[in-house]
Copies of this chain bind each other. A is one copy, B any other.
Amino acid sequence: MSDEKLQEAIHTLKDSGVRITPQRHAVLEFLLNSMTHPTADEIYKALENKFPNMSVATVYNNLRVFKEIGLVRELTYGDSSSRFDCNTTDHYHVICESCGKIVDFHYPSLNEVESLAEKVTEFDVSHHRMEIYGTCSHCQASMAH
């Protein structure tokens, strides 16, 4: 299923002259299969069984490469570390302020906002980001106690 995406991503990388190393492959595979939006450290920890000698720098290096190629997006929220999202289709995120869970949320892209901003500010607008904050149902239940 997501194996197809993986092959496609590897193809994209090779086309850009990027070598496919076992570590790189593993980071990419983990990202594609993860539905959460992991931090660099989470990726590092998830792969340390498979690659006991892997360096954190390798994770960061690969994430940078993937970003440059356009395979992943970096998400920066209020908390300390960045998160990485391999779903590059247009979607927004809903974030739980209590547990940090991030849920994808599909909504028609706010083109109107972009065009108005362009008019008002004279910026050449390239994109926008939006996040919605709240409490997930699980945490709501916990709080009820």
> Which A residues lie at the B interface, using CB under 8 A?
74, 76-78, 92, 94, 96-97, 103, 105, 107, 110, 113-114, 116-118, 120-137, 140
Q: Is the CB of A136 within 8 A of B117?
A: no
Q: Is the CB of B133 within 8 A of A130?
A: no
Q: Distance in Å from the Cβ of A58 to the closest Cβ of chain B?
A: 21
Instruction: Report B-chain residues with C-beta under 8 Å of the C-beta of A118.
Output: 134
Q: Is the CB of A135 within 8 A of B107?
A: no
Q: Is the CB of A113 within 8 A of B123?
A: no
Chain B residue with Cβ nearest A80: B76
Q: Is the CB of B114 within 8 A of A132?
A: yes
Give the residue of B78, B94, B137 whose beta carbon is less than 8 angstroms from that of A76: B78
